[in-house]
């Protein structure tokens, strides 16, 4: 039942970039029916607007280069957005979420740090 729900309501994923590495990720992820994949070229002047227009739940980007300057503001403005940085030389991914817990005291900060 859960698998059927994932297929009927696929997660919207943006692959940001134009490298062969991102193309390989696209080829692999397209096999998953629970994902709705869109590619956005990061070399065009309207990349930021294209990302906003797609309203994706996840943006995957090539972390082997510095992330584009518009990703962090987009993360702050988009509740639920997840950024995933991947690098062909790593065996890990960098995952950033738009969770914005209130941190007004050291106790609040410790609570955020201790969350998994």
Q: What structural domains and CATH numbers belong to the chain? A: 2-114 (3.40.50.2300)
pLDDT digits (tens, 9 = 90+) for 43-80: 999 999 999 998 899 999 999 988 889 999 999 888 88
Q: Is the pTM of this model over 0.95?
A: no
What tokens does 71 get?
Answer: 């990703």
β-pairing, 11-16 vs 35-40, is: parallel
User: Between 30 and 116, whose confidence is greater?
Assistant: 30
Q: What percent of the chain has pLDDT over 90?
A: 57
């Amino acid at each position: 039942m859960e698998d059927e729900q994932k297929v009927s309501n696929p997660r919207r994923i943006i692959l940001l970039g134009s490298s062969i590495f991102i193309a390989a990720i696209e080829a692999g992820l397209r096999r998953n029916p629970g994902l709705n994949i869109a590619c956005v070229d990061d070399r065009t002047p309207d990349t930021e607007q294209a990302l906003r227009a797609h309203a994706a739940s996840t943006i995957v980007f090539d972390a082997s280069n510095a992330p584009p300057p518009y990703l962090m503001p987009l993360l702050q403005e988009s509740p639920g957005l997840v950024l995933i940085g991947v690098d062909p030389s790593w065996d890990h991914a960098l995952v950033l979420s738009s969770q914005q817990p209130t941190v007004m005291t050291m106790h609040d900060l410790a609570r955020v740090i201790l969350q998994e």
